Amino acid sequence: MSRFRGLWQASVNATKRALSWNLEDLVPPNEKYIFNFSSAEELKRWHLYSDSEYGGLSSASLEIQNPVNGSSCTGLFSGNLSLDINESSKWNISRSGFCGMRSKKFDGFIDLDAYDTIALKLKGDGRCYISTIYTENWVNFPGQQEDNSWQAFVFVPKDNWYIAKIPLARYLPTWREGGFPGAKSGPGDFHIEVDWIKALRSQT
């Protein structure tokens, strides 16, 4: 009798969970915020990196831009790309010149199974940037500890807000040099302002 009661209670609990599902659980919304630079708290979700960790002389910073004329807060990623190498570097490198910002994994991976496009609201300097998505390794090879990375180029027009939409199918599993014709490249100052990053579901 006690075993039957336990099974019955488990069935009741499962029914309650099913009834508590809302529409979003069954049909995901057409868009989902992934990151929104609406406050200084957002900065805690990101990690900055550059070639300075290996003896390069590039630098980068990420800060929140306060609202102007009723606009919302945004994140400003800026710095300087340098191809030079510190002569006292202990690393045996012959090339430098990279900076980046990478989100931290607080709660594991973000579920994007229901979506097919990444959208970013950006304002930049006419440079070409790289958007990277990291996915969990399903097969681990000896010595391979990093997550798989998928990358796509993003050209950001100068001084005007622009919403870049990148289909997930455009992300490539390997890094390739290149960019967009006419995009500014090479050493020097850079800056890109980010309002938000979303996942979109364009296919129904």
Q: Quick one: average pLDDT of 35-44?
A: 92
pLDDT at 58 > cutoff 70:
yes
Residue 129 near residue 193 (C-beta atoms within 8 A): no
* Euclidean distance between CA atoms 28 and 204, whole angstroms: 10
* 77 class by beta-carbon count within 10 Å (0-12 exposed, 13-18 middle, 19+ buried): buried
Nearest Cα residue to 171 out of 137, 132, 135:
132
How does DSSP classify residue 169? G
Residue 183 has which token pair?
């995009």
pLDDT at 169 > cutoff 80:
yes
Does the predicted TM-score (pTM) go above 0.85? no
Element (H, E) at 153: strand 148-155
What pLDDT does 5 receive?
46
Torsional class of 59: left (φ above 0), alpha (ψ -120 to 50), beta (otherwise): beta
* Euclidean distance between CA atoms 184 and 157, whole angstroms: 10
Domains of the chain: 28-200 (2.60.120.430)
What average pLDDT is seen over the chain? 81
Residue 75 has which token pair?
């994140």
pLDDT at 53 > cutoff 80:
yes
* Euclidean distance between CA atoms 197 and 157, whole angstroms: 17
pLDDT at 4 > cutoff 60:
no
